[in-house]
Chains A and B, each alone.
Chain A
Amino acid sequence: MSNDIAESIGSTQLLAMYQRMVLARRFEETVNDLYMQGRIPSTLHLAIGQEASAVGVLSGLKAGDTVFSTHRPHAHAIAHGVSPDAMMAELMAKATGTCKGKGGSMHIGDFRLGFVPAIAIVGGNIPIAAGAALAAKLKGSDAVTVCFFGDGAANEGAWHEGLNLAAIWDLPVVFVCENNQYAASTPFREAFRIPAIADRAAAYGMPGVTVDGNDVLAVYAAAGAAIARARRGAGPTLLELLTYRLCGHSRSDPRTYRTREEEAEWQQRDPIPAFAANLVSHRFATEEQLAEIDAEVETILVQAIAYAEQSPGPALADVVYGLYA
């Protein structure tokens, strides 16, 4: 663990970051169980194993900033502070959900917090994030936009157009690639001739950085530099975070396109135990403090499930409402 970064963050925020990582992990394990029990419909794209990238990036934002997510948005939303109650209600298709039951797992968000209800077309969020950043620039605000996407998105045309526009206009946006090595089942090496997605930044005239996406402090530091660059008007950055889904692409994925050995290797690099061990060994927290946080997370989840289950479903008449402003 980079001690300097940890020192600069301080115990209080380090523990808050740990809490968000555990909450994201346990939220997803919990909704997975609920899904298996038939209490959540649809499908789920889980980000188990990718919590360090979500928390490391979003812990560096401030009020007024804007976040764009993907079809795999739960960890981002938790990391940004979206209510677990409202998220659980949305997954259970309730009227009290973040999108009143109109969105579901792939469109979780809370725009009051600057978290745009997630955009689930791969690459589709990229030019929109550039537009959000342009709005901030035109208004003369110092707000920054962060846009998450996976390795698969980097081969979409919209990705190219969005990065180029952000670059030529020096827009205050950080493009965050969570390179989890697979676009659904397609391995990175089959879809790219280059070793790193960050290499593409040079083509747009912006900095490109690749860091260990499972090291929350390394992510925090790299994202912080990119956010600071955007905030001072110096333009966008392409930040590539190397990570791994410790679960399938979606609920129906048997993961037969990758080996159990590879999964075991990445399991050793699970970002949460590593962060916990470092917090303790460097005396930023005690094991008791972490255990308290773990217990607190369970309470939050019990409450979220109760809130969602007691919430009403949407009124059937709502199907035709809410289309036009």
Chain B
Amino acid sequence: MPELSIAEALREALREELHRDPRVFLLGEDIGVPGGFGGAFTVTLGLAEEFGRDRVRDTPISEAGIAGVAIGAAICGMRPVADVQYSDFLFNMMDQLVNQAAKLRYMSGGTLTVPMVMRAPVGATARGAQHAQSPEAFFTHVPGLKVVAPATAYDAKGLLKAAIRDDNPVLVFEHKLLYGSKGARSEKGAVSPRGEVPADDYIVPIGQGIVRRPGTDVTIVASLLMLYRALQAAEELAADGIDVEVIDPRTLVPLDTALILRSVQKTGRLVIVEEDNLTNGWGAEVAALMADDAFVWLDAPIKRVAAPDTPPPFAPILEQAYVPSVTRIVDTVRSIL
């Protein structure tokens, strides 16, 4: 089975879906310009040459336009996949995503369907406050949207394909440090989770989390880059005989609450790790759900490890202090044992 980076796995998903379904098309800034980048992180590299620039459609810098065009095309029978260069730019399209994409089906009494995908990179990577946010939680608060966050190459391909085939607006959050550590657009500090990716057609169903490491003492829920920090923390704790179970939710909406509940019933302890600001993050929702559903199984307070409530800072040493570290995760786990 071929080993791919996440960027390569995403590209393969797009290529397969463009082949499979003539309704699928891509749009975004700098995704297919001859001699260009293939999107900000190379995911669409080569696709314009293969499928033509009608279906791999470059746009001006026009985020509200990109989202609106995707919505309009979707309700009229197409399956657009929009490339958002940085997830921070999703805020330029908030009316389109929140008032339009998320609501058109409900407010039309079910007569409209909005099958569209927005791909958006998250994560702090020494770019300062406006190119480094992890805004998944904003969108988990909007009924009508689905939110996925693949952390492995296998999931990147399978979840993106599932998102493209879904009849609802789906936001696919990708992490800049997980695309891959090789190539012209690679990022310093990337962890490059290359993995085996089947060359054939498969999907990872939206709404299913996965246990990345089984354990009995503490449950850690973490997505994207934080998943890898949690797995490292689990290794360190294992050296002291602490057996950590690590869950990757993979989808934030709809959340696989049952999987997390089963784990917490077993371990009695829960730590949630997110790269976003602490207050009102998706971790707070997981904590509230488990306070409701797992109350009698809990042996310790639920803890969250998250960024402080500030914008992402630029200075690399400040950014390191901002993004939850393996050490913070280890210390938090120890604090509830």
Total residues of chain A contacting the partner, CB 8 A: 43
Spot the interface stretch: B57-65, B271-279, B312-320, B323-331.
Answer: B57-65
B107 touches A132 (CB 8 A): no
Q: How far is the CA of A111 from the CA of B104 in the complex (A)?
A: 12
B76 touches A102 (CB 8 A): no
CB distance from B159 to the nearest CB of A (A): 17
A135 touches B77 (CB 8 A): yes
Sorting the interface of chain B by its residue count into under 10, 10 to 19, 20 to 34 or 35 or more gives: 35 or more
B69 touches A116 (CB 8 A): no
A138 touches B72 (CB 8 A): no
B109 touches A100 (CB 8 A): yes
Interface 1/0s, chain B 110-128, versus A by CB < 8 A?
1111110000000000000
Q: Does A133 contact B (CB under 8 A)?
A: yes
CB distance from B168 to the nearest CB of A (A): 5
B76 touches A97 (CB 8 A): no
A119-B100, A127-B67, A162-B65 are contacts. A136–B109 as well, Cβ < 8 Å? no
A99 touches B96 (CB 8 A): no
Q: Does B73 contact A (CB under 8 A)?
A: yes
B59 touches A165 (CB 8 A): yes
A127 touches B109 (CB 8 A): no
User: Which of B65, B77, B111, B167 touches A127 (beta carbons < 8 Å)?
Assistant: B65
Q: Does B71 contact A (CB under 8 A)?
A: yes
Number of A-B contacts (CB under 8 A): 142
Q: Does B74 contact A (CB under 8 A)?
A: yes
CB distance from A293 to the nearest CB of B (A): 30
> Quick one: which of A279-313 are within 8 Å of B by CB?
none
A325 touches B113 (CB 8 A): yes
CB distance from A292 to the nearest CB of B (A): 34
Q: Does B211 contact A (CB under 8 A)?
A: no
A323 touches B105 (CB 8 A): yes
User: Which of A109, A127, A136 touches B69 (beta carbons < 8 Å)?
Assistant: A127
List chain A residues, Cβ under 8 A from B68. Answer: 124, 126-128, 130-131, 158, 161-162
B76 touches A158 (CB 8 A): no
B60 touches A98 (CB 8 A): no
A132 touches B65 (CB 8 A): no
Q: Does B144 contact A (CB under 8 A)?
A: yes
> Besides A131-B76, A158-B95, A165-B59, 11 other CB < 8 A contacts?
A99-B107, A102-B109, A119-B104, A127-B69, A127-B72, A128-B100, A130-B65, A138-B73, A323-B105, A325-B110, A325-B115
Chain A interface residues toward B at CB < 8 A: 66, 97-103, 107, 109-112, 116-117, 119, 121, 124, 126-136, 138-139, 145, 157-158, 161-162, 164-165, 168, 322-325
What are 22 A-B pairs with beta-carbon distances under 8 A? A99-B111, A101-B109, A107-B107, A110-B111, A111-B108, A117-B107, A124-B100, A128-B100, A130-B68, A131-B68, A132-B75, A134-B78, A135-B72, A136-B76, A158-B64, A161-B68, A165-B62, A165-B69, A323-B105, A323-B143, A325-B113, A325-B168
